[in-house]
């Protein structure tokens, strides 16, 4: 089963003023998310159809205009851009996290979204012990509900 996500995530207090510009969706632990669709890219990029990419190149939709937008907002608190693409059990994640107009983390790796959510203050669910040897600990991704939909457009 495929999974695809491109989103900007932050505390609601960080993104509340942006609700007039871009659609905002509530997720768990007082976080909100901006699903990065082509419409949102157009809003953030001020109608520029082919914005210049900002290095590093490990992102599909992270452009310089989005980086500048996130950098400005990061004065209010940490903000993350996340990408995930999985199909048939294989895939990848990429994240960049800004705080105080500086990049805290920019990486492409499995588990990167959990690390970014941790920098935003997300606490994973407490592990549940089962009768068997299986121990399930909901990670940060599941804790905030990013597994509710399979694609960015569904948000």
pLDDT of the chain, 155 residues: tens digit per residue: 788 899 999 999 999 988 888 999 999 999 999 999 888 888 877 655 554 555 556 677 777 788 888 999 999 999 999 999 888 878 899 999 999 999 999 999 999 999 999 999 998 876 555 554 444 457 888 888 888 887 888 88
At 128 the pLDDT is 53
Q: Please count the structural domains in the chain.
A: 1
Q: For the chain, how many residues are written?
A: 155
Which pTM value belongs to this model? 0.83
In contact, 117 and 3? CB cutoff 8 Å = no
Range of the domain at 68: 3-154
If 0-12 CB within 10 Å is exposed, 13-18 middle and 19+ buried, where does residue 10 land? buried
């Amino acid at each position: 089963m495929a999974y695809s996500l491109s989103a900007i995530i932050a505390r609601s207090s960080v993104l509340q003023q942006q609700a007039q510009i871009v659609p905002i969706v509530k997720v768990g632990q007082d976080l909100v998310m901006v699903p990065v669709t082509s419409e949102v890219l157009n809003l953030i990029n001020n109608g520029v159809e082919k914005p210049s990419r900002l290095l590093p190149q490990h992102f599909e939709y992270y452009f310089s205009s989005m980086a500048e937008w996130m950098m400005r907002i990061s004065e209010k608190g940490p903000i993350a851009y996340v990408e995930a693409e999985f199909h048939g059990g294989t895939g990848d994640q990429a994240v960049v996290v800004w705080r105080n107009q500086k990049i805290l983390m920019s990486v492409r790796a499995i588990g990167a979204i959990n690390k970014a959510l941790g920098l935003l203050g997300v606490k994973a669910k407490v592990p549940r012990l089962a009768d068997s040897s299986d121990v399930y600990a909901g990670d940060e991704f599941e804790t905030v509900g990013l597994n509710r939909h399979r694609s960015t457009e569904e948000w």
